[in-house]
Chain A
Amino acid sequence: METPDFLPIERLQSLIDTLIDDGFRCVAPQVRDGAILYETLDSVKQLPKGIAQEQSNGRYRLQDTDSPRNFAWANGPQAIKPLTFAPREELWYGELKSDGSLKFYQAPTETEPVAVLGVRACDLAALALQDQHFQSTFPDPYYAARRKRLLLIAVHCTHSAATCFCHSTGDGPEAQSGYDLSLYETDLGYFVTAGSLAGEMLLHRLPLEPGDAALFAAARSETRQAAESQQCQLPQGDLQTLLFGNLNHPQWEAVAERCLSCGNCTQVCPTCFCHSENEVPSISGQSTTHERQWDSCFSPGHSYIHGITLRKETASRYRQWLTHKFGSWHEQYGRSGCVGCGRCISWCPVGIDPTEELAIICKDGTGDSA
């Protein structure tokens, strides 16, 4: 790879300024209540400079360091998913007219341009999966409008968490595609590459300098070291066949003894798409709003059909989550539904690690053990 041009660290603000001048709302990682979240920003001072992270099963802690870097951490609880698939949103509203007729109106779609600075490789891969899900047979107009307005600036990971396993899913730590612009971070600044025409045009307006080849080689090797440092791993093999061949494995009961069925894992997962719809009538009764809201396969209502909850026990819910995410996604979307971000491990209150469960359930490779 040719040495990209370089944006000295003291000029990072010019990137944000250019985006704001172009009419973008700039969204970037910031420290909020002890976690890193993606929120609106207008100054580099709001970035998590010098923040380091400790993540492990059921644990997420931030630490201050004197590193000059803004992106020397892996990820936060929320990916960029809420920017395209809103946690709660209005789909349409209806009016009851005085003659008894009904009128239905599409809820306005969001069009405000948003530039996201600091997107991770895993989250780009997750976004590509959500694109497939929401924009195939019946394109979702709300998702599509939000998606279209996004400009994505990736920052390649150099500091994987102990929970990350994007290397074994093939999604990181170096972002492969799906971004407009990408940044390799060093102590001195950023190597900038473009991944789209929009990114190319933006790149040419930044106050860049010719990059130093040795420094760039070092920056890239940091992403490789991050990959090598990863401790978790997605078990190899045809997980769909192995999972569906082990539906009666005793480990489903064993994990259910620890799992609280809280659904945290699904709420932090950047690829989970389940949602429910509900109706919010106005007090006057003259209008009503039809909304959707994130839901989870761990909720009792998820598998409800008149009078029966098909998945009453936690074991069957955990099995639904694992067989879907790591199994049937292959058939549905041509790949695993997991991009290795590790969030479900850190944010599980009891520290369940699906890669460990998979390793046990899919171990013998010969099909059903029960």
Chain B
Amino acid sequence: MINPYLPLEAEVVERIQETPSIVTLRLRLTDPDARHRFYCAPGQFNMLYLYGVGEVPISIKSGPQSFLDQTLLLDHTIRAVGRVTRALVKLEPGAKLGVRGPYGRGWPLNQAQGKDVHIITGGLGCAPAVSVVHELMRQRSRYGRISVVQGVKHADDLIWRDQYEHWAKQPDTQVLLAADQANASWRWHTGMVTGLLDQLHLDTERSLAMLCGPEPMMRASAERLIELGLRPEQIWLSMERNMQCAIGHCGHCQFGAAFVCKDGPVFNYPAVRELLGTRGF
């Protein structure tokens, strides 16, 4: 019987300091067989295990393409917030850690084919979103218009600025950025991300929205999109809950009847709409 709890060893190949508290670790599984077997879809996550400290769920930023072309690096962008993540972001190239995954259900890419896709994110919500944008760009002809709407608290928090500028130059692609607090070099919207939604080129018939970020932001954005004409079924969002096991056993990630780790983290909005508005779930 395979043991779903056992991590695989991985090595830090590269460490990228994105902001003072955000680091991207590029990981390679050390076992070549495991590397060949590994495949994941945008929106899925891994459990990263730091020796002697513990395990945390972190989204996989690399798209499926990196697995197909055998570069096989697992990119994880980690914000240092607590015990495990503070120690994880200190790892230097060559350091070893544990990885198990991928887990969960990712974004509905099949349903998105032939449609306009709007990706709306807040804060570090950008990691799972970036993986899906990469994938959309890789298979650009399969999709209609693409918009990327990213909100940050402070302008200094925006990472991957070049990436956004690059996407903005692509055909049929709209990039909208917002910062609650701007700085001198900020030339986009100042305020909440929901304030940008009116600017979307929204063809309500053939659109799909993918949301990730803090829950109040996702909720406000989803409700605004509905006001703008989207049906709830056209909206998808990525949830976070405490996770211990990632395999549906520990019970911590439950959200109503859903286990976020295996039924999510990406949910169709109607499945979570009611509870999302209720404190304590």
Residues of A bordering B, CB below 8 Å: 91-92, 94, 96, 100-104, 106, 133-134, 136-141, 144, 240, 244, 247, 273-279, 281, 285, 288, 290, 292, 295, 297, 301-307, 310-311, 313, 315-316, 319-320, 323-324, 327-328, 330-332
Contact = CB atoms under 8 A, between A and B. Distances in A.
A108 B280 CA distance: 38
A370 to B, nearest CB: 12
B96 A134 contact: no
Contact of A311 (B7, B250, B280): B280
A96 B52 CA distance: 9
Contacts of A273: 249-251
Contacts of B14: none
A283 B28 CA distance: 29
Interface string B221-262: 000000000000000000011101101111110101101001
A139 B244 contact: no
A346 B96 CA distance: 50
Given A104-B7, A302-B252, A332-B257, 4 more contacts: A94-B51, A275-B244, A278-B54, A285-B52
A306 B82 contact: yes
Contact of B249 (A140, A310, A332): A140
27 contacts: A92-B5, A94-B7, A94-B98, A96-B51, A103-B9, A137-B262, A138-B249, A141-B1, A273-B251, A275-B249, A277-B54, A277-B245, A281-B52, A290-B55, A295-B251, A297-B251, A304-B242, A305-B241, A305-B242, A307-B81, A311-B280, A313-B280, A319-B280, A320-B280, A320-B281, A328-B254, A332-B259
Nearest to A95: B51
Contact of A100 (B7, B81, B95): B95
Contacts of B4: 138-141
B9 A104 contact: yes
B251 A306 contact: no
Contact of A316 (B1, B97, B279): B279
A141 B249 CA distance: 12
B53 interface: yes
A274 B250 contact: yes
A138 B248 contact: yes
Given A100-B96, A134-B249, A138-B247, A331 B51 contact: no
A279 B98 contact: no
A279 B47 CA distance: 14
A129 to B, nearest CB: 13
Q: Which of A92, A102, A144, A313 has the most CB of B within 10 A?
A: A102
Nearest to B251: A274
Contact of B52 (A144, A279, A332): A279
B94 A102 contact: no
B9 A101 contact: yes
A366 B262 CA distance: 32
B253 to A, nearest CB: 10
Contacts of A290: 5, 55
B141 interface: no
Given A279-B53, A328-B254, A137 B247 contact: yes
A46 to B, nearest CB: 34
Given A274-B250, A302-B242, A310-B281, A279 B54 contact: yes
Contacts of B281: 310, 320
Nearest to B259: A332
B101 to A, nearest CB: 12
A302 B254 CA distance: 10
B51 A288 contact: yes
B184 interface: no
A132 B186 CA distance: 54
Nearest to A309: B242
Interface in B55-79: 55
Nearest to A276: B244
B160 to A, nearest CB: 21
A53 B187 CA distance: 75
Contacts of B94: 100
Contacts of A288: 51-52
Contact of B248 (A94, A137, A277): A137
